Amino acid sequence: MADVAPIPLYSVPEKHLSQGDIFRCHILGPYGGTSLTILREDSGKRPGEQFTSVGGVQFVKAADISQYPIAQEIVSCQVDHLSHFILASQTCDVAGVNHPALPTCLVLKITTFCDFVNGGELPFKWQEGENSIIKQIALNEFLLANLDEKGATAIKTASDNQSAYPGALRTALKAWKPKANSNEQTFKSKLQNFLTDITNNKEGRTYYLPGDEKFNIPESFVDLSAVFPVNTEDIQGAIGSRLATLGNPYKEEFSQRLGDRFSRVAVPVPVRGEKFG
């Protein structure tokens, strides 16, 4: 019997927007909340013209404004800068084929392994010694300070190459030989396990995306908790920035994983039986 060809994870996007479309373009993912502020005149009224940095207007807490109906606002809020993202909304809500697309859609942040290591902190607390202060430090800085010279040089050289960086990191971690029973050895083991859990889609927090040169997709992962509402019209305007879309049945798997993430039931104490042996 002839070998069955593997089903590709990625495929060329359709003409219309579809759940699982992968984009590479810069957008802002807003975080709402009580800290959000909106622009108002000193009297509390919404400015009647575009903000021009003139006197008589100020940012006030949105939570203190309740007498005006829903409308477009000039808003100051915390945002996340997304360079890669995946469309999370159902295809029927954004395609605009048989009926108009909904005005708002949801996207999920994609984090490349290169950006994760170079822009993030250790995924766990670090302590130099038994009696020292527990602190949070930059992951990349720690690696450059503790890897051997060859490994540190390799990941530093590849830090601007999204495609080459994961391979350089794997090689450097494999070659790193910290002292037995040292903090560095514990760190290496924890970091390798943490990154491997991502590539194995463990715990249901992320969705792994392997690198693909054909579609120019760097090795990365979707953070299933980093969901942002955006204007569908803006996403339609960026349709030319799509790298690929998830092919079937991976599109359905992604949809299920997303649903499982937000429909899970948390319990105070998980039920566990006594171990055998």
Domain boundaries, the chain: 14-113+207-212+224-260, 116-202
The structure's pTM equals 0.83
Strand, coil or helix: 45: coil
Identify the band that residue 24 occupies on the pLDDT scale cut at 50, 70 and 90: very high
- Closest-CA residue to 105 (of 29, 14, 197, 201): 29
Tally the C-alpha atoms within 13 A of residue 28's C-alpha that lie toward its C-beta.
8
Say how far apart CA 230 and CA 105 lie, in whole Å: 6
Task: List, for residues 218-239, the tens digit of each pLDDT value.
Answer: 999 999 989 999 999 999 999 9
Tokens 């605009």 — which residue?
Answer: 96
Say how far apart CA 219 and CA 84 lie, in whole Å: 11
Q: What are phi and psi of 157, to 5 degrees?
A: -65, -35
CA 29 to chain centre: 10
- Closest-CA residue to 142 (of 188, 192, 107, 106): 188
Task: List, for residues 51-70, the tens digit of each pLDDT value.
Answer: 555 557 777 777 676 666 66
10 Å CB burial of residue 92 (0-12, 13-18, 19+) is middle
For residue 79, the one-letter residue type is V
Say how far apart CA 82 and CA 222 lie, in whole Å: 12
Q: How many residues are there in the chain? A: 277
10 Å CB burial of residue 52 (0-12, 13-18, 19+) is exposed
- Closest-CA residue to 182 (of 130, 135, 122): 130
Strand, coil or helix: 1: coil
pLDDT at 245 over 70: yes
Task: List, for residues 172-210, the tens digit of each pLDDT value.
Answer: 999 999 888 887 888 888 889 989 999 998 878 899 999
